[in-house]
Amino acid sequence: MGRFKLTIEYDGTRYSGWQMQKGGKTIQGELIDACRELFKDSEVDLFGAGRTDGGVHAIGQVAHLGVETDLLPLKIKYGINDRLPSDICVKNVEEAHPKFHARHDANARSYVYQISRRRTAFGKKYVWWIKDQLDVSLMNEAAKNFTGLKDYRYFTDEDAEQTSTKVEILHAAVAEFGDMIVFHVVGSHFLWKQVRRMTGVLVEAGRGKLSPAEVASFFRIKTDIPAKLTAPPSGLFLERVYYRNEEVSYETKPFISL
């Protein structure tokens, strides 16, 4: 069975997340259906680098595809895309090592969360519109508490697939681009809802309602505050998945302009 590395982008608005589940339309499900149609009777295995939540988008999700085929990577790319809905797109297909695993071989992931300072007619699906004034310097001060290897147990919900709640955050920063505020975070991996709760905490800090010291306490003292502050999925993008010998980028930038 051949193995291929797929790089995928998608608008997650209409989907219940990446991972296949009963009774829900998912990104993984749509991709597997397209592959089965393309490869006819061949067995198809497809696994992603991470499970994005319902409504969350991706610019550079990675998956590995296992299938017996004589098709070249470019033909596979075109063949899958011809069978996908317009809000999912395979950007690249390349041959991979037979043991390449999209999730287990990843060294780091980066996410971007977009916050809009104004109402937007075109970007509503891709931002969190916040009417309150946000102090970006306060948000960055709070974000300093995220970096390093820390226990994020109060930034996630119980999940049978999570063997540990410790995550190493390599970079966490907030930047302004006109009417857009962008939170960029890079980590070893991320837990279920973790980035949305980190964002919610930073927004509350930007409102002046949470101090950096209070944010620091969320890693020491049991709390439900991050859960109560969970940001909506609309503004969140899986930006990139990094593998061996790939240089991690800490550049913060928006994906749409306002």
DSSP bridge partners of 181: 115, 176
In this structure, the strands spanning 166-177 and 180-187 are: antiparallel
- Active-site residue among 45, 53, 70, 132? 53
Distances, alpha carbon 60 to alpha carbons 131, 181, 241, in Å? 30, 21, 7
Distances, alpha carbon 198 to alpha carbons 67, 159, 174, 215, 230, in Å? 38, 18, 12, 10, 8
Distances, alpha carbon 243 to alpha carbons 57, 94, 147, 187, 218, in Å? 20, 14, 20, 13, 30
- Decide if 32 contacts 212 (C-beta within 8 A): no
Residue with tokens 């999570």: 162
Residue 193 φ/ψ region, left for φ over 0, alpha for ψ in the -120 to 50 degree band, beta for the rest: left
CA dihedral 54, 55, 58, 61 (to 10 degrees): 10
* Identity of the amino acid at 240: R
53 given a catalytic annotation: yes
Tokens of 132: 């309150």
What residues are annotated to the active site?
53
